[in-house]
Amino acid sequence: MTTSLGGLLARLVTALFIIQVAQAKTVTYDFNVTWVNANPDGLHERQVVGINGQWPLPVIEVDKGDQLVVNMYNGLGSHSTSIHFHGMFQNSTNNMDGPSMVTQCPVVPGASITYNFTVNQNGTYWYHCHTDYCYPDGYRQALIVHDKDSYFNDMYDEEYTLTMSDWYHEMVRDIRFIDKTNPTGAEPIPDAFLFNDTQGGVNLPMKPGKTYLLRLANVGAFVAQYFYIEDHTFQIVEIDGVYTEPKEADMLYISVAQRYAILVTAKNSTEKNYPMVTVADSVLLDTIPSNLQLNHTNWLEYNKTAEHPQAVMPAEVASDLDPVDDMTLIPHDREELLPEADMVLNLTVAMVNFDDGAGYAVINDISYTKPKVPTLYTVMSSGDLATNAEVYGDFTHSMVLGHNQVVEIILNNMDGGSHPFHLHGHNFQLVDRAPSYGSHFYDYQDSDPVFYDPNNHTEFPKYPARRDTFVLPPHGYFVVRFVADNPGVWLFHCHIDWHLEQGLGMTFVEAPRQIQERTTIPQNHYDVCKAAGVEWTGNAAGNTQNYLDLSGQNKQKDWLPAGFTTKGIVALVFSCVSAFLGMAVITMYGVSGIKDTKKKPVTQRSNEAASTDSVRT
């Protein structure tokens, strides 16, 4: 009896397994990446990164469980490139994650790469170039993972995918940003804001009484946007690939790299069309040119022939808008707050000047500087030394995480700007933040930084929200937790592409021994290195003989001699260049104010703590 039941069960399980395997399919995209011309804002035609001669780029769509294969040929001629599939955990396929010099070599013009991984997640994601700050040139688009089992499948009739982004008229390579003439690190001001890659007006056809799933993704490089629909509320059902319990809301704040899926139920009447409004967060902009339109109206279209009215904008400034706080969203799976962490990383963000006079970003005084060998390849080639953070160099800011440790990141902000931080390979629990999203978000902007105090914090949520990109408030802090259950080399970085360029990122080398056991680098990825002339063995300095000898490693610029301040640099630069640059620049720096600097180490080198595999706190 028992055996036959066991046998039956075994056959049943096998049958189910076969059904599942039979359902999963391989979805293949061939991307020939070349420059094409586009004029999405109707103001200026420019070259953008196209795929197979097209821009906007194709939305990647797969079903949960599918094998996604993307064959990319770099036909740009001038630029190296790569693709990061944002939000994909790449569990056991770390080498498919995409960031250049982290998990692969840059794909030089004329070279090809194949990405190939299983998608075992659901929801709204996106893909973008992750080499040398290339995605503001248009190399970014949504990636949707359909899930026939989602709890909200029966709750809607149709779905729409919509992106929003900032937009520049200049090519990234022509924008002078890290430069002594820009000592405050004032970010380039976008020339326009796009909604689904146009400024021409998007109409979402609405049928009376039907419900629509709107997938919203901010694929911009810099500016967050508020989103609301006149005279409609909606239910939030997903953030960054994590289903949430339905939460009624009327306004969202969507930073770059964040995604929301919402359910909108159509009204019964068809007389009117309703503005669907985006408002760029102007607090992020150091100057607001008079011709830059911050808010845009698109429509829920109930009636093609009726008027399409412009939004009646609230009178208040953006900082008074009151979006839903993402920390209040409860994951549908009700994963509980993780226990006290095995490893606590106490990190502090600051904007500084180095001795070249330009503005840089540091986390605990380190400005991310790419290594000479991609960090994953150092893991693969360093044997037993892979658990020693030193082999990854001093400026990749690598922390070694132990397998299955609970990790807590405390991120304090010395800077008066906000920073949407993204972790590759994971989502994390949102445990604490001050100030929170909403009308108080900018409360500390003009006051002294407030650091997280473990002995005096608000009560942690029982079921913390989870996502992969979380905004660090000006002069405030956040605390997140995750389990290091995905061996790999993962970047943790600000998703404002300009800030990443300034070094606002660091590297988690998670469970290096397990990485070595589980990872096979395909020959094609080594060929990418060969084409680029980049080494694929050795430490961060490319040394294959002595992995602890970092001589020749890439370094961040030197600190300013004591006594120099940003104000001093600004004054110096002013006296030299203001005469040439004229009023525009004076206005720019006059408005931007001076960001914080810090010359003494903010904390002791936390790498030391990280180089042993498990630090209990």
Strand partners, 290: none
Other C-beta atoms closer than 10 Å to the C-beta of 531 total 19
Question: Of Cu ion, ligand NAG, none, which one sits near residue 181, judging by CB under 5 to 8 A according to partner kind?
Answer: none
SS3 303: coil
- Ranges of beta strands (E only) in 495-600 are 505-510
Tokens of residue 359, six digits: 């503005």
| Minimal distance, residue 101 CB to ligand NAG, in Å | 23
- Ranges of beta strands (E only) in 77-210 are 84-86, 112-118, 123-128, 140-146, 158-167, 192-195, 203-205
Do strands 505-510 and 398-401 pair parallel, antiparallel, or not at all (unpaired)?
Answer: parallel
Question: Of Cu ion, ligand NAG, none, which one sits near residue 550, judging by CB under 5 to 8 A according to partner kind?
Answer: none
User: ω into residue 58 within 30 of 0, thus cis?
Assistant: no
Nearer to Cu ion, 372 or 419 (CB): 419
Nearest CA-CA partner of 247 in 326, 158, 146: 326
| Minimal distance, residue 220 CB to ligand NAG, in Å | 15
Contact residue for ligand NAG among 74, 81, 131, 150 (CB under 6 A): 150
> Cβ(440)–Cβ(476) under 8 Å?
no
Tokens of residue 360, six digits: 């840089």
Nearest CA-CA partner of 226 in 298, 312, 318, 325: 318
Nearer to ligand NAG, 67 or 578 (CB): 67
Nearer to ligand NAG, 306 or 577 (CB): 306
Contact residue for Cu ion among 494, 515, 529, 569 (CB under 5 A): 494
| Minimal distance, residue 543 CB to ligand NAG, in Å | 32
Question: Of ligand NAG, Cu ion, none, which one sits near residue 448, judging by CB under 5 to 8 A according to partner kind?
Answer: none
Residue 68 CB partners (closer than 8 Å, separation 6+): 26, 27, 29, 60, 62, 85, 115, 116, 117, 118, 119
Stretch that binds Cu ion, among 125-133, 151-159, 404-412, 497-505 (CB under 5 A): 497-505
- Scanning residues 467 to 496, which ones bind ligand NAG (CB under 6 A)? 485-486
- The CB-side HSE value for 485 (13 A sphere, CA atoms) comes to 6
Nearer to ligand NAG, 243 or 260 (CB): 243
Number of residues that bind ligand NAG (CB under 6 A): 53
> Cβ(276)–Cβ(297) under 8 Å?
yes
Nearer to ligand NAG, 196 or 388 (CB): 196
Question: Of Cu ion, ligand NAG, none, which one sits near residue 89, judging by CB under 5 to 8 A according to partner kind?
Answer: ligand NAG
Lay out the site mask for ligand NAG across 541-570 (x = CB under 6 A, - = otherwise). Answer: ------------------------------
Contact residue for ligand NAG among 38, 113, 202, 411 (CB under 6 A): 202
Residue 388 CB partners (closer than 8 Å, separation 6+): 400, 547, 548, 611
Stretch that binds ligand NAG, among 147-155, 256-264, 438-446, 543-551 (CB under 6 A): 147-155
Angstrom distance (rounded) from CA 214 to CA 195 = 13
Lay out the site mask for ligand NAG across 8-47 (x = CB under 6 A, - = otherwise). Answer: ------------------------x-x-------------
Stretch that binds ligand NAG, among 13-21, 67-75, 535-543, 573-581 (CB under 6 A): 67-75
Q: Quick one: DSSP state of residue 364?
A: T
Tokens of residue 94, six digits: 């770390």
Report the side by side order of strands in the sheet with 123-128. Answer: 60-63, 140-146, 123-128, 84-86
Nearer to ligand NAG, 458 or 612 (CB): 458
| Minimal distance, residue 504 CB to Cu ion, in Å | 5
Angstrom distance (rounded) from CA 225 to CA 343 = 34
> Cβ(570)–Cβ(578) under 8 Å?
no
Strand (E) or helix (H) holding 18: helix 2-23
Angstrom distance (rounded) from CA 489 to CA 97 = 9
- Scanning residues 226 to 285, which ones bind ligand NAG (CB under 6 A)? 242-243, 265, 267-268, 270-271, 279
Q: Is 149 in the site for ligand NAG (CB under 6 A)?
A: yes
Tokens of residue 549, six digits: 């000898």
Question: Of ligand NAG, Cu ion, none, which one sits near residue 499, judging by CB under 5 to 8 A according to partner kind?
Answer: Cu ion
| Minimal distance, residue 319 CB to ligand NAG, in Å | 10
Stretch that binds ligand NAG, among 159-167, 178-186, 249-257, 500-508 (CB under 6 A): 159-167
Q: Is 290 in the site for ligand NAG (CB under 6 A)?
A: no
Lay out the site mask for Cu ion across 385-424 (x = CB under 5 A, - = otherwise). Answer: ----------------------------------x-----
Angstrom distance (rounded) from CA 286 to CA 474 = 14
> Cβ(366)–Cβ(348) under 8 Å?
no
147: left (phi over 0), alpha (psi -120 to 50) or beta: beta
Lay out the site mask for ligand NAG across 105-144 (x = CB under 6 A, - = otherwise). Answer: ---------x-x-----x----------------------
- Scanning residues 324 to 343, which ones bind ligand NAG (CB under 6 A)? 332-333
| Minimal distance, residue 392 CB to Cu ion, in Å | 23
Stretch that binds ligand NAG, among 35-43, 132-140, 305-313, 322-330 (CB under 6 A): 305-313
Based on the number of CB atoms within 10 Å of its own CB, is 1 exposed (0-12), middle (13-18) or buried (19 or more)? exposed
Do strands 140-146 and 123-128 pair parallel, antiparallel, or not at all (unpaired)?
Answer: antiparallel
Q: Is 215 in the site for Cu ion (CB under 5 A)?
A: no
**Binding interface with Cu ion (CB under 5 A):** 419, 494, 496, 499
**Binding interface with ligand NAG (CB under 6 A):** 32, 34, 53, 56, 59, 67, 69, 73, 75, 89, 91, 114, 116, 122, 147, 149-150, 160-162, 196-197, 202, 204, 209, 242-243, 265, 267-268, 270-271, 279, 293-295, 303, 305-306, 313, 332-333, 346, 348, 410, 426, 451, 454, 456, 485-486, 602-603
